[in-house]
Amino acid sequence: MWLPDEAFRALGSRRVLVAVGPDDGPVADTVVAEVARATEQFGGHLVTAPVTVDDALACDVVLAIVGSAGEVGTASATMPPPPGHPPRTDPYLRAVQAVVEDLLALGSSVLNPGMFGLGRHRGRTVVVAADAAGLLYGLHALVRRGEAAFSGPDDFVWDLPVNEIRMLDHWDNTVVHPVMGQVERGYAGGSIFWTDGRVRDDLSRVAQYARLLGSVGINAVGLNNVNVHAAEARLLTDHLDGVARLADAFRPHGIRVFLSVSFAAPLSGGLETADPLDPDVQRWWADAAAGVYETIPDFGGFVVKADSEGQPGPFAYGRDHADGANLLARALAPFGGTVFWRAFVYDHHQDWRDRSTDRARAAYDHFTPLDGRFDDNVVLQVKYGPMDFQAREPVSPVIAAMPQTRLAVELQVTQEYTGQQQHAVYLGTQWAEILRFPLAEDGRAVGWIAAGLSEDHEAERRAAGLVAVSNVGDDEFWTGHPLAQANLYAFARLAWGEEDPVAVLDEWIGLTFQDPSVAPAVHAVLDDSWHTYEKYTAPLGVGFMVRPGHHYGPDVDGYEYTAWGTYHLADRDGIGVDRTRATGTGFTGQYPPPWRDVYESVETCPDELLLFFHHVPWTHVLHSGSTVIQHVYDTHADGYDEVVQMMQSWATADGRVPKAFFDRVTERLTEQERSAREWRDQLRSAFHRRSGIPDATGRTIY
């Protein structure tokens, strides 16, 4: 992935001071170990505390936990600490202050947890942080800069994560599920955590994974499937020793572990009910939480999918989701734990004949009346769109509709509806567009809302962050498609606060590939790949059109007459779902101004979302000047041609990357070409047969 040994050459060839205290814990130990490994390999020298002023001045690089920015020139250990942190009294602080001199005065008077400063100062490269996590993040930021970090004029910047929570959920099953397999919606092999119903004996790959995630600032991981089956339900009570071993692997990289739990767990624990207002149920959850923390003191908390797609929930007892979430939150509160409560709740037994029922409305209808009723340690986890991780759908109106609730935006790194890691589809571009979207009535973007930022960029109390479904497995290349590693990297960097997805892509390419001449080929394959995928699959925001069940490949009417509520309503006259207030399901009314009116009107609705909000004739003229039917004909042909160009670009990397890597990407691109051709021909033919309108270019339609 993106931490090859070569990435550490610039750091490892120098004399490096790592100044941490004896009580800074396992994350600080990780920083020392990383530098020790690099200097041993590349001929540099590691210096650790205790250290004199002369020792510090003799170093090329200084990495130090300083607690906070104190009064310049005091050379004391009484710098004011961040709230909740004791004053630092480390003997090395005098030596570090001699190196940084007036540098700390350039920063804030208090360094926040996770914050670091990095740059050149008086001929040295310096990283200072308030805590061990910040120093780890600063170390890897230094590594990302390469040789450029060790030359040039003084230039110092402060950095800290925009999002408090930067979390990956794994949909791993402890045993192989008969339908979904070992990892639900996983396209990179089996679980790196579980085998035969228990935690693997060898966790070396988990340790590597933790190192990768820590290097890009991920700070939380859910260990098991949100669809909790019978075997996984026992993790909460019977397999905590194994979960503790996983926590041990993640802890040195600043990552807390979470478990997905079944709302009905008390039933399997011997109770006759799981009613959240029942005192016995409340005691059961309190005891269960205490048992977890007795084994794993820094356990993160629970992830819950309830009353959705067959998972049990509070509706069975006439209760609402605030009742359910607060039950678990109060069990976790004494230990500082958090409940991530997914808002993916809808009726999956709809009548396809009833056009007034709209799956897109469900999350808003269920949850917005509950705003303000959730406890402070509940995070409502909301999918970025109202449907289900499509290549194109509008952002969910729920994100802007619950100002009194901590809210995390959920993305999907594993490519369930974007090529399943068979197709090269870089999603950083999509996510950046979502996070920048000015959803709120006051103009705040989705990313601001998730991060808890107010209109003037000041932090609000109810901060949460970003969560995504991970895409790794025990595959040789971690992600099945080697280039899908870019999506895991991009999620983490965007969750940290990076804004330019193309710069993030190039950053990943530069770290991952030893030969810089490979970069143009990889960039050409991935840069616009999301739009390419959108072109040859479901058009103009209509969504789905995939094979039911496994969701791979085209099936125009696959879900059209099912109970899942994912329709396109194409007929001889037109296509699309009417979600307007005037004549449709009223979904547009869930949006704040101006979007409620932008989406309501065919004239103002963006082309790329037209069929999500409107049923229009095949001859409707888009803002682009093309008709809907001609747009389908053109984009599906163009998208296929672009995949062919991607293959040609990748072919130029032959001989410049490891053969196994080259062959795997080539094999996946070959499958992408086949699939894109099938998408092209099926959709062009299906829509021609419905509309009766020929392709104006005369291209072949079957």
| Catalytic positions, written as ranges | 309, 388, 416
Burial 149-184 (b: 16+ CB within 10 A, else e): bbeeeeeeebbbbbbbbbbbbbbbbbbbbeebebbb
The separation between CA 50 and the C-alpha centre of its own chain, rounded to angstroms, equals: 40
Check residue 575 and report its DSSP letter. Answer: E
Instruction: Classify the phi-psi angles of 428: left when phi > 0, otherwise alpha if psi is within -120 to 50, otherwise beta.
Output: alpha
> With the C-alpha atoms ordered 398, 400, 403, 406, is the resulting torsion angle positive or negative?
positive
Q: Within a 10 A sphere around the Cβ of 447, how many other Cβ atoms?
A: 24
Q: Tokens at residue 166, please?
A: 């930067």
**What does residue 182 show for φ and ψ, rounded to 5 degrees?**
-75, -40
Q: Tokens at residue 122, please?
A: 């008086």
> With the C-alpha atoms ordered 61, 18, 497, 426, is the resulting torsion angle positive or negative?
positive
The residues with which 129 forms a beta bridge, in sequence order, are: 65, 116
185, 171 Cβ separation under 8 angstroms: yes
Q: Within a 10 A sphere around the Cβ of 354, how many other Cβ atoms?
A: 9
Reference 540, options 601, 641, 598, 616; nearest CA is: 616
Alpha-carbon gap, residue 685 to 693, rounded angstroms: 11
510, 516 Cβ separation under 8 angstroms: yes
DSSP string, 472-494: --SSTTSSSSGGGHHHHHHHHHH
278, 269 Cβ separation under 8 angstroms: no
446, 217 Cβ separation under 8 angstroms: no
Alpha-carbon gap, residue 648 to 669, rounded angstroms: 10
Alpha-carbon gap, residue 529 to 523, rounded angstroms: 10
539, 627 Cβ separation under 8 angstroms: no
Question: What 3-state DSSP class applies to 66?
Answer: coil
Total residues found in the chain within this entry: 702
Q: Within a 10 A sphere around the Cβ of 106, how many other Cβ atoms?
A: 15
Alpha-carbon gap, residue 271 to 281, rounded angstroms: 8
Q: Which residue has the tokens 């329709």?
A: 567
Question: What 3-state DSSP class applies to 32?
Answer: helix
Burial 497-516 (b: 16+ CB within 10 A, else e): bbeebeebbbbbbbbbbeee
The residues with which 125 forms a beta bridge, in sequence order, are: 61, 120
Alpha-carbon gap, residue 666 to 663, rounded angstroms: 5
Check residue 453 and report its DSSP letter. Answer: B
Check residue 484 and report its DSSP letter. Answer: G
